[in-house]
Amino acid sequence: MRFEIVGVDGPSMGESPTLMPFVKGLEEVLTAEGDEKAGGEGSGTKVVFNFFPPDRPRPHHRGSQATFVVGITAGPEPEGDILQAVYPMMIRSLGNHLIYLVEPIAGNGVPRATYFVTLERGYYPLEDCAPEDYFHHVLDRVRPLAESRLVINNEFREDLPPGFWEGNERTQEIVIASRRMAEMDLLPAPFPMETLLPEKDFLHLKRLFQIGGLSYGNVSVREPGYGFWMSASGVDKSRLEHVGRDILLVRDYDEAHNQIILSVPPDISPRRRVSVDAIEHWMIYRRHPGVGAILHVHAWMEGVVSTEINYPCGTYEIARAVSDALATVDDPVHGVIGLRNHGLTITGENLPEIFDRVGPHLLRQVPMS
């Protein structure tokens, strides 16, 4: 994959005992594995490694949605909740991912601990690796994520049949299920990105990804013959109201243009995009015709089949990993699949059936590994 390393000549980088050796080790292993250095913007950069000191997360403005940005910084072991300490650094640096190196470097030349942090608010330590393999392991964790493909663009078609404009029993199911999620406290408040970012950086993210703040959890219901209904992105799910704005009909996925096709009524303003997980739900409905509804939450259940790689939300790869995992369970229509370091995707006949079946077993804490 074509890579760029940025930030290494930034202020105070030379003072860090950890970052410069890390740059060197990373570059060596990238070269050894046949990855090529990109010549800058517009030369097909797949991944940018953005180094910065922890007190000054340097934003990297990427040229394209398809570029994956990994922030890398170093500091002491965070006190208390690691996520709370380092997640804002990732947001401020405009990264898709963050690697936090715990100083000082141990006698064997590698950081005392290495944490990977994801936009889905997952984090996990790099464990049990021999120092001579350290950079290979780091890259093994990053490579599949960086090479995954986002499917988050939407095409709006103003062709929603008038019979659906006021909703139906299935959109009502979504309204009720979303309220139920809020009552069960399964809907964390959207992450306040705009309060952490200067306006210019927030607008940059908005332009590239059309996001208004990160939020988690969503539901969908199949509409036989048409596709499926799904909650919109970034809306308060405890207050879904309008069909075509808060609840959207996903008709299909257009592979050639890599976008999700939505049917909306005419003259909806402002237009809202569908949840980034639409590609995952689309693939599940297509491959598993008996599935009538899907719930996604950032929670966990004992004994579930889980995906191996924590691909980012909204990628074709996470969609494939989840629907593949679903194909391995005895009853894919009533499946519970773990998304590693992330949450659960649960299939069912309809949403009330899903809640009744899994509600009592949900664990708030997602295990991280």
Q: How far is the CB of 120 from Zn ion (least distance, A)?
A: 5
For Zn ion, how many residues bind (rule: CB under 5 A)?
A: 1
Query: Which of residues 53 and 343 has its CB atom nearest to Zn ion in the complex?
Result: 343
Neighbours of 52 (CB within 10 A): 27
Binding to Zn ion in span 270-289, by CB under 5 A: none
Query: Which of residues 50 and 231 has its CB atom nearest to Zn ion in the complex?
Result: 231
Sequence-ordered strand ranges (E) for the chain:
3-6, 47-51, 68-75, 97-105, 111-118, 123-125, 153-157, 218-223, 227-231, 247-254, 259-263, 293-297, 305-306, 336-339, 343-348
State which H helix or E strand residue 37 sits in.
Answer: none
Binding to Zn ion in span 325-344, by CB under 5 A: 343
Binding to Zn ion in span 129-148, by CB under 5 A: none
Nearest CA among 188, 142, 167 for reference residue 3:
142
Query: Which of residues 242 and 320 has its CB atom nearest to Zn ion in the complex?
Result: 320
Query: Which of residues 338 and 343 has its CB atom nearest to Zn ion in the complex?
Result: 343
- CA–CA dist 135, 21 (Å, integer): 11
- CA–CA dist 220, 249 (Å, integer): 9
Binding to Zn ion in span 202-221, by CB under 5 A: none
Task: Give the CB-side neighbour count of residue 253, counting CA atoms within 13 A.
Answer: 20
Query: Which of residues 251 and 296 has its CB atom nearest to Zn ion in the complex?
Result: 296
Binding to Zn ion in span 339-368, by CB under 5 A: 343
Q: How far is the CB of 296 from Zn ion (least distance, A)?
A: 6
Nearest CA among 312, 316, 317, 337 for reference residue 327:
337
- CA–CA dist 305, 40 (Å, integer): 41
Q: How far is the CB of 339 from Zn ion (least distance, A)?
A: 7
Query: Which of residues 88 and 343 has its CB atom nearest to Zn ion in the complex?
Result: 343
Q: How far is the CB of 103 from Zn ion (least distance, A)?
A: 31
Q: How far is the CB of 277 from Zn ion (least distance, A)?
A: 6
Q: How far is the CB of 365 from Zn ion (least distance, A)?
A: 15
Q: Which residues bind Zn ion (CB under 5 A)?
A: 343
